[in-house]
Amino acid sequence: MAAYIFRRLLLMIPTLFGILLLNFLIVQFAPGGPVEQTIAHLQGLGVDASNRIGSGVQSDVAAAPGNNSGTGSGYRGAQGLDPTLVAQIEEMYGFDKPAHERFFKMLGDYLSFDFGRSFYSDKSVVELIIEKMPVSISIGLWTTLLTYLISVPLGIRKAVRDGSSFDVWTSSVVILGYAIPNFLFAILLIVVFAGGTYLEWFPLRGLTSPGFDEMTLGEQIRDYFWHITLPVLASVVGSFATLTMLTKNAFLDEIHKQYVLTARAKGLTESGVLYGHVFRNAMLLIIAGMPAALIGIFFTGSMLIEVIFSLDGLGLLGYEAVINRDYPVIFGTLYIFTLIGLIMKLVSDLTYTFVDPRIDFESREV
């Protein structure tokens, strides 16, 4: 197993390199970079994203000499600015160097976990991630926990009672949950329960109420769950349907195998057959999807939920970074989340061997 783990860790290096290289090349062809946005902002042509440029960046550019005449820049919209000013803007963002030099410098910095600072917020990428992490962890952990607590028992029950009235009506609920996007369900929850039209049982914004720090521990716990209820419910709807059907199909496939018939013929109870033999084999498929589901809920799946419920988390951070062309945040978060995803996939493989010791990755070629 040690050799397999070592090979997988080595494989992460070219994987990370390829992902960063591909995204770096794509970004080079994307219009509206930070230099263009700053130039547009100086000329009064900036869009909403460029209007978020931090005061530190604005002051640095405004202090540069010669900002009212000349042409010669390769950037569209820069014809009214002095080429010296444009060159200073490029240098400020690091675009005075060729693309390949910037890429390899970025790789060198990432090896020492130096992800740079945001172009617009005057904070390091690590500080921004740590600042936004509690919101995404709150949504991700509770969503994952509730999804598995609901889906696995429900899927097992549906497999055991396949074709019954219970299976039929629960399948209708599952299909309905699968058909409704989580952001539409989030809007429905707001309309019904958050003062949109009918009831005002839950708050509409944020993860905590004003004055949270002055509350007692019991009040803080109640306030936290009061705020997190609707976002988590909206996220669960988008996750439980797929996992429920996956669990049902995995158990159905195992229930009809020969070893189950043999176990029953030996006099084992249905509960003994189900949880003593079927469960271990059927759960392998469920465990395989856990890391991907966890990473998806943490870092991508909650973006629309965060926007709708005004939660300042990692999903919203990534969205704003792309809109603003905040390259340090884009590539820093991409590197960190990809690395976490690769590690979680390795953990998934190790969990396979824990659930079923018969699985041997040592003899596999990576």
- Whether 78 is in a domain gets the answer yes
Report whether 262 contacts 254 (CB < 8 A): no
Contacts for 172 with CB less than 8 Å, ≥ 6 apart: none
Domain coverage including residue 252: 126-355
Report yes or no on 16 lying in a domain. no
Give the residue-averaged pLDDT of 17-24. 89
CATH code at 138? 1.10.3720.10
Indicate the number of domains in the chain.
2
pTM: 0.70
Residue 227: count other Cβ atoms within 10 Å of its Cβ. Answer: 22
pLDDT for the residue 110: 87
Nearest 5°: phi and psi at 100?
Answer: -65, -35
Helices (H) and strands (E) in the chain, counts: 15, 0
pLDDT band at 302 (very low <50, low <70, confident <90, very high): low
Question: What does the pLDDT read at residue 364?
Answer: 56
Q: Which of 114, 141, 168 is the last residue of a domain?
A: 114
Tell me, yes or no, whether 52 and 183 share the same domain: no
327 found inside a domain: yes
The residue among 309, 287, 289 whose CA lies nearest residue 297 is 289
Alpha carbon distances (Å) from 156 to 69, 145, 150, 173, 294: 73, 17, 10, 16, 21
Residues 94 and 242 in one domain: no
**Of the candidates 53, 80, 114, which is a domain's last residue?**
114
Task: Tell the burial category of 159 from Cβ atoms under 10 Å away from its Cβ (0-12, 13-18, 19+).
Answer: buried
Question: Is 13 inside a domain boundary?
Answer: no
Same domain flag for 100 and 172: no
Q: In the predicted model, what is the mean pLDDT of residues 182-200?
A: 80
CA distances from 175 to 58, 145, 232 (A): 51, 21, 19
Distance of CA 109 to the CA centre of its chain: 23
Higher pLDDT, 201 or 366: 201
Closest CA to 258 of 284, 276, 278: 278
Same domain for 162 and 107? Answer: no
> In this structure, is residue 91 part of a structural domain?
yes
Rounded to the nearest 5 degrees, what angle is found at the Cα of 333, between the Cα atoms of 329 and 334?
A: 115
Share of the chain above pLDDT 70, in %: 76
pLDDT of residue 308: 82
Domain contains 20: no
* pLDDT of 297 above 80: no
Half-sphere exposure of 292 (CA within 13 A, CB side): 8
Please name every residue paired with 77 in a beta bridge, in sequence order, or none if there are none. none
Give Cα separations from 34 to 22, 127, 323, 327 (angstroms). Answer: 20, 21, 10, 8
207 pLDDT more than 60: yes
CB atoms within 10 A of CB 104: 10
How large is the average pLDDT for residues 116-126? 83
Are residues 272 and 239 part of one domain? yes
190 and 155 within one domain: yes
Q: Scanning the structure block, which residue is given the tokens 């904070």?
A: 123
pLDDT for the residue 56: 43
Selected residue with higher pLDDT from 16 and 83: 16
The pLDDT, as a whole number, for residue 135 is 83
From the list 344, 348, 228, the residue with the least C-alpha distance to 288 is 348
For the chain, list the strands marked E by DSSP: none
In eight-state DSSP terms, residue 276 is I
Rounded CA separation 352/318 (Å): 32
**Cα 304 from Cα 133, distance rounded (Å):** 16
Greater pLDDT, 88 or 120: 120
Is 363 domain-assigned? no
Considering the domain architecture, whether residues 152 and 209 belong to the same structural domain is answered as: yes
pLDDT of 64? 42
Pair 52, 158 in one domain:
no
The residue-averaged pLDDT of 93-122 equals: 82
SS3 (DSSP) at 184 = helix
**Do 67 and 136 share a domain, yes or no?**
no
51: nearest Cα among 98, 120, 1, 123: 120
Residue 21 lies in a domain: no
98-107, long-range: CB < 8 A, 24+ apart: 99/24, 99/28, 103/20, 103/21, 103/24, 106/20, 106/24, 106/331, 107/17, 107/20
| Mean pLDDT to the nearest integer, 299-317 | 76
The rounded mean pLDDT for the chain is 76
pLDDT of residue 70: 39
- Same domain flag for 97 and 149: no
Give the domain-ending residue among 73, 91, 114. 114
Give the integer Cα–Cα distance in Å for 103 and 54.
Answer: 25
Q: How far apart are CA 57 and CA 33, in angstroms?
A: 14
Is the pLDDT confidence value at 51 over 50? no
Q: 109 and 194 share a domain? A: no
Domain identity same for 58 and 149: no
